[in-house]
Amino acid sequence: MYNAVVIAAAMAVLPLPARGAGVGLDPLDQWPQWRGPLATGVAPRANPPVTWSEQENVRWKTSIPGKGHATPIIWGDRVFLTTAADHGEPLPPPSLHSPGAHDNVPAVYRQRFMLLAVDRRNGAVIWERTLRTARPHESAHETGSWASNSPVTDGERVFAFFGSQGLYALDVDGNLLWQTDLGDMQVLHGHGEGASPVLYGDTLVVNWDHEGESFVTALDKRTGEQRWKAPRNEATSWSTPLIVEHDGTAQAVIAATNRIRAYDLNGGRLIWECGGLSGNVVASPVTEDGFVYAGSSYEKRALLAIRLAHAKGDITGTGAVVWTRDHDTPYVPSPLLYGGLLYYLKHYQGFLTCVDAKTGATKYGPERLAGMGNVYASLAGAAGRVYVVSTNGSTVVAAHGPKLAILARNQLDDSFSASPALVGNEIYLRGARNLYCIAQEGAK
């Protein structure tokens, strides 16, 4: 019931990446971007395992060089992921290092910024491409990575984004098609970069919120040529744009400190805007059935439900904002929108809340999920289950529904900050050291 509802509702408002010519694969069966085929965290046709450990249901485990927090993306028989690895000898202390942030790490080494293709069947690395070798101009947070932006694919091309280190388009065999340099970000506190690109038809959208001149830009996916660029009155945010189709118009919705804003994908015109979030917005918005949901948690807590049918101009404090929350809202992990229910975590801790997406009525929470460390990975859902992955290697699997029911608590010997990817009978978990393919024994 819930699966049927979420497929029908999401397809009505959220366009999917086009099928790659000659590939013939349905995007609903893939994980082509961060947050999955519907950009809600849901894999509508997947049925991954409920239980696993290092000794159970690990189909394969592949060591990945360097460090990256980007979610792996899957198309066909290939898994694509980005990483950044130390290169060469240690360098003298950097001349440009963000002051005042005690929890940062400086760029001691040059980094190899890489895109890898891994065989989904056995975990073998099919190809590895170093797209740039450079010393990052700023520091990163001690829990972060210089490769936190997730790639996106249409089945023919893979777009790897490393923020200040460039945007690259490759074919699925690893051949470079084009590249572009959007400049150097000046990130608040020197905490690193993380917003991922998104794809709609032939248009690639990149958000560039930082302490300098912020903007959002749309590029032709085939050539990398700029289609439009809109300035943004925003400080640093790490939120990935959300593409929504409403009344025949594709909108790029971006959640940030001063405003949530929606831009017409055909030209960059501002359609609507809404204040109310906190500073340092990290969690990305989600959409279903004519609503957009955006949340944050920094100096204040905020969660907003916006009805697109009423969203024109500045909608702050109007009836277009159907409901709000001011407590226990998400900071780093993005919420999961699954069949009319909105799931989210408190800040980046293992306290789960579930509300009715249309009304905001609490179904449960915040409920403590025992055994969890910090949670930086966004929530994912499939086959009537909710998956919550923690930095201490644990994953809680809960039943999808209005009452909390824990189905399993699983433990692996790694730390997970990247969001999980769910495809077919598998779940892919990208750890600090390894990429795991978790699949029920005997499942194909």
Task: For the chain, give every domain's residue range.
Answer: 2-439
pLDDT in tens, 227-267: 999 999 999 999 999 999 999 999 999 999 999 999 999 99
Average pLDDT over residues 325-340: 98
Query: Which residues have CB under 8 Å from 355's CB, separation 6+?
Result: 325, 341, 342, 361, 362, 363, 365
Percent of the chain with pLDDT over 90: 89
pLDDT at 32: 98
pTM: 0.94
List the end-to-end C-alpha distance of the chain, in Å, as a whole number.
Answer: 25
pLDDT band at 441; cut points 50, 70, 90 = confident
pLDDT in tens, 287-328: 999 999 999 999 999 999 999 999 999 999 999 999 999 999
Tokens of 58: 């690990």
Q: Say if residue 15's pLDDT is above 80.
A: no
pLDDT at 415: 98
For domain 2-439, give the CATH superfamily: YVTN repeat-like/Quinoprotein amine dehydrogenase (2.130.10.10)
Q: Say if residue 21's pLDDT is above 60.
A: no
